[in-house]
Amino acid sequence: MQVKIAESWKPILQAEFEKPYFEQLVNFVKKEYQKYTVYPPGGLIFNAFNKCSFEEVKVVIIGQDPYHGTGQANGLCFSVADNIPIPPSLQNIFKEVQDDVGAPIPKTGNLERWAVQGVLLLNAILTVRAKEPGSHQNKGWEIFTDAVIRKISDLKENIVFMLWGKYAQEKGKVIDTNKHFVLKAGHPSPLNRSSNFLGSRHFSQANNYLIAKGFSPIAW
């Protein structure tokens, strides 16, 4: 398994890479890629950590597992590769961005432009078998990403965490709310009928907080 990450993540995550559960996870993932079609492409599994270095993290958005359709997943939560139709959840995200901060809805669903500004787009599970959502649950990824969230919470200050839906909010329980700004709303999926995501104004709230703490805002 290719672990392509920004240099600053390596000392932060090295202890996790050396734990027995991670070795078992690597073995599982390697076999899955050999036997099945698995997303994202191997070189993009850790794309979130490659595009957004540890020292640059300002915002963390937590997703669940990668898109499982052909060519969609690019290693960033809610993001799809260029020239791929924008999924419904991401359409709602872009609609909220437009309503909240006035940014036009982009033609591509590739969120690398957010990642390079300091937005860690972290899925709880980093791989998935094609057309089988949740197929790589409970194999070790959740342990790893819990550790990532905990490291960010412990070692950094004034990070904005966006927790959309019950799953993300459950993972966010390890965040020190005295040091960080935690925003919660329903999941942006249009299937979530009880969602209060639209109208949550998370993007302007995040930028206002970052500016107040002396950081540059995100160009959403």
Whether 154 is a known active-site residue: answer no
Strand order across the beta sheet in which 181-185 lies: 119-123, 59-63, 160-164, 181-185
Query: What tokens appear for 119 in the block?
Result: 């937005």
Q: Which of 65, 82, 146, 154 is an active site residue?
A: 65
Provide the residue type at 157 as one letter.
E
The DSSP line for 111-177 is: THHHHTTTEEEEESS--EETTBTTTTTTSSHHHHHHHHHHHHHHH-SS-EEEEESHHHHHHGGGS-T
Q: Which residues are the active-site residues?
A: 65
